[in-house]
Structure 1
Amino acid sequence: MPATIYLHWAATPYNWLRPGLYHTIIGGDGRLHRLHAYSIDLPAHTWRRNSNAVALSCACMGGRPDPWSIPPTEIQLHALCGEAAAIARSWGWDAADISIQRLMTHAEAASNRDGRWMHDNYGPVIWGGTGERWDFLQLTRGGPPTGGDELRQRIRRLLLEPEPPVGLPAAMPGVGGPERLAFRRPATMRVRGQALAVELDSNGSSWALAADLLSLYEIPYEWDANRRRILVGSLDVVPSFRDDQVQPSVGWPLFEMTLQNGNAPVILRGILRDNRAWCRVLEFAEEFGITVSFEPFALRERRGG
């Protein structure tokens, strides 16, 4: 199958987050949780359509007994369309490429609305299906059954706009871009007994070059410039999928640190500053199992050797 983007809702509360099902989950507040690299296939998001595909899902529609008591929020839909547009642009697509054959909702995929008969129709009843999946059939309660067309039109408009600076999100209509996180001063800290140059941001967090931290702990890595990510060869890291991971709202271009093995889970995210990859030192320690001491802040050895 050609490369395809599928749009889902998770039928959950707004704060739901779980790896392994979707590449990215968008919270009710519009926060993007990129859990897996887009270059790998996940096994079970869209039945018989998981190969060469990316799955984006909004955490919403989990109300019981009424799903619409937790509807998709406008900021959530904007983030969903912005992420789909960014992926499409990275693949070399333009607005004319945003068709139902390349980008569809789970409701449309379940009903084979793209013309490819991949399975029995388990989509909306109004399209002759069993009603098991109806993700984004409508965008609002009682709205027309044109959710897929509406989302594709939004994504086309985003692709027709001037491309935002690399790594930055498109602004909400009528809302200015994000204010850039400020850095106050350089400093040094001890890491495995050695001095490490860091930068302190306006929130008091310490940032360091990801390459310096990985080298100090002798962790093999490779920089993937095309996708702005660091591929890490460590076999003993279990990503925690932190809710407070770095978001586009910090105002800097972003990079991701991803494991090379398995389904390529994202370990952490950081910023590109002066064309170099920086990450929060404490987050790096927490993700890689490194012991920490305070007063002064210092990193010691990795747990388990």
Structure 2
Amino acid sequence: MNNNYLVSVIVPIYNVQDYIGRCIESILRQSFQNLEILLVNDGSIDNSRQICEAYANKDKRIKIIDKENGGLSDARNVGIKAARGDYIVLVDGDDYIKDDYVWILLKETIRTGAEVTICSFDVVDDDGNLITNENLSELNSLVMGKDVLDYVLTPYGYKYVVAWNKMYSAQVFENNLFDKGKLYEDEYLNFRLFWEIKSVAIVHTSLYCYVQRQGSITQSDMSIKKIKMKEEMHKCRISFYKEHRERHLYMKSCQMYCNWLVECVRQYSQVLQPVDKRRFQLEMRKYSRIADDDKEFGMAIRIQNYVGRISLRLASFFKRIYKGDKNVREKHG
């Protein structure tokens, strides 16, 4: 199998000098060696470029692509367009992968004929200490793309949204790329990409190490721009399912939007302007009524929706009680 397939490993790089060496070394240690390693330097102004060059001088599989800073989506797209591999994996420059990451994903992809293969992953700190294991225990070993999209629309669906715990057949990117300039780029692409995919393999082994760097998302570094970008993503997803007449995913996406509206008021009330809060209230009244038609949701959600139509502030208080004030991690672009 080593001689029959080429796997392109795409690493977007922007000012990650403290992490990129560990990332590249983890790629070079892969048990599967027939790799094309594309290091996309997205206009770094630290020493990331020099570190990449040192590795490229030692291993001919490494190619450095320099570009002006355009953001994570743009860097990934440049790498995808340059890739020659039969399969593509995306590794963020501050993360790293386990030695059998490529081999296990490729073996399962070939065995099942899947268009995309997804693996479990570890969340670690800067020093590599395990914080939590995110196991994909919710789905069977081989599912359809729409099964993935269904589970994405749950509180812990982010495990299936992130771009970096996956091996993609190169063909899946022929008509779908990341939206340049968007935050939450993985979410914007996810519903469009998996809608077209017929077969997805699930690997329960943890193969990717996502580094949760210090300074996670808090109210102090949340901005109106980020909030509006997330709101836009929700509305795009809702419109997509409505246009494709997928009633179940349409209602679930409406409910996810409502959940997010409540969560915004709960976490970022001081960031939101009065005009945003008034708009959110109107949105809650509109979309919660659509979501209420889905009988799948439990009593807690129905109470949240009912209270939210009266007052998002009261709904956020209710949510704080029944959630125990636990935050859900998100991978932000």
The interval holding the TM-score normalised by the smaller chain is: under 0.3
The structure richer in strand per residue is 1
TM-score (norm 2): 0.25
User: Relative to total residues, which structure has the larger helix share, 1 or 2?
Assistant: 2
